[in-house]
Amino acid sequence: MSDKPGLIRRSFRLIGGFFSAVRALINIVLLVVVVAVIASLIQDDVQPLPKHAALHIAPGGFLVEQKTYVDPFTQIMQQNSPAAAETLVTNLIEAIDSAASDGRITSLVLELDFLIGGGISKLEDIGEALARFKKSGKPIIAVGDNYTQEQYYLASYADEIHLNSMGTVLLTGYGNYPNYIKEGLDKLRINLHIFRVGTYKDAIEPFTRTDMSEASREHTTEWINALWSVYTSRVETLRDLPTDAINDYVNNLGYKLAGYDGDASALTVAAGLVDKLSTRPQMLARLQELAGATDEGGYQRIEVDQYLGHLRRAEALAVEPQTSKIGVIVAKGMILDGEQPAGTVGGDSLAALFKQARDDENIEALVLRIDSPGGSAFASEIIRQEVILTKNSGIPVIVSMGSVAASGGYWIAMGADQVWASPTTITGSIGVFGIVPTFEDSLTALGVHSDGVGTTTMADFFRLDRPMSPQAEQVIQFGVNHVYGRFLSLVAEARNSTPDQINEVAQGRVWTGEKALALGLVDRLGNLNQAITAAAETAGLDAYEVEVVEAPLDFSEQLMLELANGQVGTLVSRMPERWSPTSLVSSFYGLTKKLELLVNFNDPRGLYLNCFECMDQ
């Protein structure tokens, strides 16, 4: 008789071995955590900064007002998470402003190869910080293998722009080219039932047309030309170029390249876009000359996160905390119903932040920073009511619009004491739409049919496998009309106007912040810091701290976050990069964010205040 174990015994041994391996892995992770905690406790002090170094500005992925939530454990174990594809604008501005008066910082280096985008409004905010830094007399050097349009905008603030001799500056202008899928839906036999108000509410056009309507073409042309005018005039001023030089470069690029035998890098120098063509060793030598060389052959530099960490620890020890605070609540992303993680605006989760602020006796004013194209009408109203409740409790609320505050993003701003926008903010889009797909024809083509009985004509209202009845269509259209009327009324009340007057500038039309000011849709033009100053003045505060109001973490999340930002995170970040480089993660992140706007519809009544054309701003 064989002593070989049977199948059942071998199976249990395999399962037991698997769980033993899992336990061993957990023990190793816990050991690393314990070691890191002990190391943090016994460490005497933060490592000092170099006496002389360049501040290295190397944003990666997308510029954002708020990073997408990633649980702290994932941050520790997976440094290339979606959050790594985002760069917080406020961190860059804080570092640049602090470096201007810091004697240890000799210069600023812009390395922009991994920046993907974020919108001209965010670029302008960072650009203003760079302009303030230049007033200190310290040089700004931009180095890059190539420069995309958004990378070059920041590079144009530099005293010296170095470009690889194999590189180019690729400027294309702004465009808005939606994909129109009506024929595709027809081929799939999907019936879309569209309900809207507003001549210019073109969020639904990709579903109903094969091309852009004249109304959409008219207002889209207006706002993208306004943004491009800001871009070109700013770059031409910074680079001391003639008026319309950028348009000439872009529109005649092929012709101009012919004069340089296709040498794009040589053309950029001749056009005044860059100062010098440099190889990577030549760029390094220039940076070593400015900041000093290291023993490893690099140049003396400090990264933004390291610099800010050091400054904040020093401030915490040296500065007496203020009892008066101005809270900042960030509403970034699509507006959805219910609880949502950071990086998306949840009606309930953002409302909870306002309650949290009201319960904090030290918060005497609030700034609501909006960077959202809108979304659920229901969730937008939930948030607006919280803004009004906070204002009525005696806490002034100032809205600061970022790159986009349109549709639902504009709706929630209407409860505030003041509304601030940047000149390049995309706002307005005051309109409403509803969209309901039904698949009865698709299913019929597959041989699937729906039949039955109901007690009323509305019994099959929520059935997507059946045609929509005329009464159901009427109910939804009335709902859209009502919400649009309510939108006009609340805007008219907030802006001291009338619904008829607001209707003239509404109907889904998009405006820049500068135009919105002229139309009376916003109160002032300015950035986030200026809105915070306005909040302090409104509350009568001379001395105050600025505190970002965020959902509190439990103990385990806080511990993991400290470790992710501390020694364990540093250890993991030094491990070899996996197959997914940051650039790939960033590209995938951008695609998923666009898809999110198309598929995350969860309004209880199916009514939306959304600006699809604002997605890339």
Q: What is the set of active-site residues? A: 201, 407
Strands 607-610 and 301-303: unpaired
CB burial readout 119-143, b (16+ within 10 A) else e: bbbbbbbbbbbbeebbeeebbbbbb
Cα angle 417-520-226, degrees, rounded to a multiple of 5:
120
d(CA 582, CA 588): 10
Length of the chain: 617
CB 85 within 8 A of CB 31: no
| Bridge partners, residue 427, by sequence | 405, 511
Biggest alpha carbon distance in the chain? 96
Q: Tokens 């973490």 belong to which residue?
A: 553
In a 10 Å sphere around its CB, with 0-12 CB exposed, 13-18 middle and 19+ buried, how is residue 52 labelled?
A: middle
CB burial readout 289-298, b (16+ within 10 A) else e: ebbbeeeeee
Write out the DSSP string of 81-92: SGGGGEEEHHHH
Nearest-CA neighbor of 398 among 318, 309, 332, 327? 327
Q: Which residues contact 473 (CB under 8 A, 6 or more apart)?
A: 193, 195
How many C-alpha atoms does 81 have within 13 Å on its Cβ side?
A: 18
Write out the DSSP string of 306-318: HHHHHHHHHHHHH
d(CA 492, CA 11): 71
CA 25 vs CA 20, 65, 394, 565: distances in Å: 9, 36, 53, 22
